Amino acid sequence: MSAPLTIVVGSGGVGKTTLAAAMAVDEAINDNDTLVMTFDPSLRLKDALGVDANPETNEIQVPFEAGGELWASLLDARRTFDTLIDRYAPDDTSRQRILTNRFYDHLSGSLAGVLEYMASERLFEVASYGKYHRVILDTPPTRQALDFLGAPERIVSFLESGALRIALKPWFDANGNFKAMAKLGILGRNVEAFFDRMVGMELLRDMAEFFQAFAPLYDGFVERALEVQKMLRSDETTFTLVSGPGEQRVADTLFFARKLIETGYRLGPIVVNRVHPKVDDVPEVVNLDDGRGLLAWLGTRDHQGVAQLRELLGDSHPLVVVPLLPDEPTDLASLAELGAMLREQLAR
């Protein structure tokens, strides 16, 4: 956990948010001023960190006595999108054009990768003003952990593709009529006629207007996206991969690990979370109402998974095993305990 930037990745529901918070608390205890950026904390964790969705606040200092300061922030899709428009729109007219476009509402939530991109942009901002020794980023709850990482790249390639240029072309003349795609000749007119027949000109006009309204924002986008890409690949950044327990997760975990490495990221520890304790005598047959037997069965399953993963990983990456706890840690004391456990295992 020595890199200034730690990015916690993994499938949905494996406990990334809690682990990110625990790592942050532990860093603060170890004298580092630390920021944890989180997406989807439980109500209790939100309370513990004191973060809320107040649009006026970015980072909030957590009331926590330690050698270093502990800060937290909560990322929200719509809010980050609004901020983005506020920041980049050159004037009020453009801002209004975007905000009143009927696509905005839907796109701000669904435009591929925008939330992920915004998160990495925020991260870049935070890292560049150098206030923190450590920044720990929880990643959005996507089923595909790697979506997040691809976002800056996707945005850049989207912006550099012909799609955008076409969208930005003056498609409509002063009277609001669709200009023929003259240079495509007959074929172009056919394509155009096809789109018209399929979806109607009204929709195309709305979309074109929306993307044109966004035009002034694009330059800043590309530049920042490239910087974010560079930062994600730098030596200052480490990825912590979190996995659920059990044998059937092994393939998934290895797949993510391989993808991360192939894409040029620095993969640090792999954390197998919520591992059932190992029990020596597992009954042959487990009845459904026998919790002890069930736990023994689950313990065997989970530890077989861990052993498999350990064997396949070799010494390439540290493997941290976090046992299933009596309850999800949500207060600062239990987060500190969990963080210390991670640190202790990594020190071995």
Partner 1 sequence: MDLLKRLQELELVVVTGKGGVGKSVITASLGRLLAARGRKVLLFEVDPRENLHQLLDTEPSGGEIINASPRLYLQHIEPRELIDDLVREKLKVNLLVNRVLSSPVHRHFTEGAPGLKESAVFGRALRMVEGHGPPVLRRPDVVILDAPATGHGVSWLAAPQLVADVVRSGPIGHMAELISAFLGDRSRCGVVVVTTAEEMPVEESLELITSLDERFGREPEVVIANALYPAIDEDDGEDDAAAALWRDRRAINVTQLERLNASWAGPLAEVPLMPIEPGPALIGAIARRIETQLRTL
- When asked if residue 180 is in the footprint of partner 1 (CB under 8 A), the reply is no
Shortest Å, Cβ 14 to partner 1 = 6
- When asked if residue 170 is in the footprint of partner 1 (CB under 8 A), the reply is no
2 vs 203 by CB, closer to partner 1: 203
Site map 316..345 versus partner 1, x via CB under 8 A: --------x-xxx-----------------
- When asked if residue 78 is in the footprint of partner 1 (CB under 8 A), the reply is no
- When asked if residue 47 is in the footprint of partner 1 (CB under 8 A), the reply is no
- When asked if residue 215 is in the footprint of partner 1 (CB under 8 A), the reply is no
Q: How far apart are CA 141 and CA 125, in angstroms?
A: 22
The region that residue 24 occupies, defined by phi over 0 for left and psi between -120 and 50 for alpha, beta otherwise, is: alpha
- Near partner 1 by CB under 8 A, which window of 82-90, 126-134, 138-146, 333-341? 138-146
- When asked if residue 196 is in the footprint of partner 1 (CB under 8 A), the reply is yes
Three-state DSSP class for 218?
Answer: helix
Beta pairing, strands 34-38 & 267-275: unpaired
Which of 73, 147, 75, 153 lies closest to 118 in space, CA to CA?
75
Which of 184, 207, 244 lies closest to 104 in space, CA to CA?
207
The kind and range of the H/E element at 47 are helix 43-49
Q: Could you say which of 54, 61, 190, 316 contacts partner 1 (CB under 8 A)? A: 190
Q: Could you say which of 293, 305, 329, 339 contacts partner 1 (CB under 8 A)? A: 293
Q: Edge-to-edge, what's the strand order for the sheet holding 319-323?
A: 59-61, 70-74, 34-38, 134-138, 5-9, 237-243, 267-275, 319-323
207 vs 341 by CB, closer to partner 1: 207
Tokens found for residue 53: 């969705």
- When asked if residue 102 is in the footprint of partner 1 (CB under 8 A), the reply is yes
The kind and range of the H/E element at 217 are helix 201-233
- When asked if residue 183 is in the footprint of partner 1 (CB under 8 A), the reply is no
Q: Could you say which of 21, 107, 270, 321 contacts partner 1 (CB under 8 A)? A: 107
- When asked if residue 295 is in the footprint of partner 1 (CB under 8 A), the reply is yes
- Near partner 1 by CB under 8 A, which window of 24-32, 126-134, 192-200, 338-346? 192-200
Sequence-distant (6+) residues with CB within 8 A of 202 are none
Report CA 125 to chain centroid distance, whole Å.
Answer: 16
Shortest Å, Cβ 265 to partner 1 = 19
**Position of tokens 């493997």?**
319
268 vs 293 by CB, closer to partner 1: 293
53 vs 61 by CB, closer to partner 1: 53
Beta pairing, strands 267-275 & 59-61: unpaired
Shortest Å, Cβ 222 to partner 1 = 17
Q: How far apart are CA 345 and CA 343, in angstroms?
A: 6
Tell me the sheet residues that pair with 176.
none
Shortest Å, Cβ 3 to partner 1 = 27
Q: Could you say which of 63, 130, 162, 176 contacts partner 1 (CB under 8 A)? A: 162
Shortest Å, Cβ 158 to partner 1 = 8
Q: What angle do CA 232, 234, 238 make, to 5 degrees?
A: 70
Which residues here bind partner 1, judged by CB under 8 A? 11-14, 40, 42-44, 102-103, 106-107, 109-112, 141-144, 158, 161-167, 187, 190-191, 194-200, 202-203, 206-207, 244, 248, 252, 255, 276-277, 279, 286, 288-298, 301, 324, 326-328
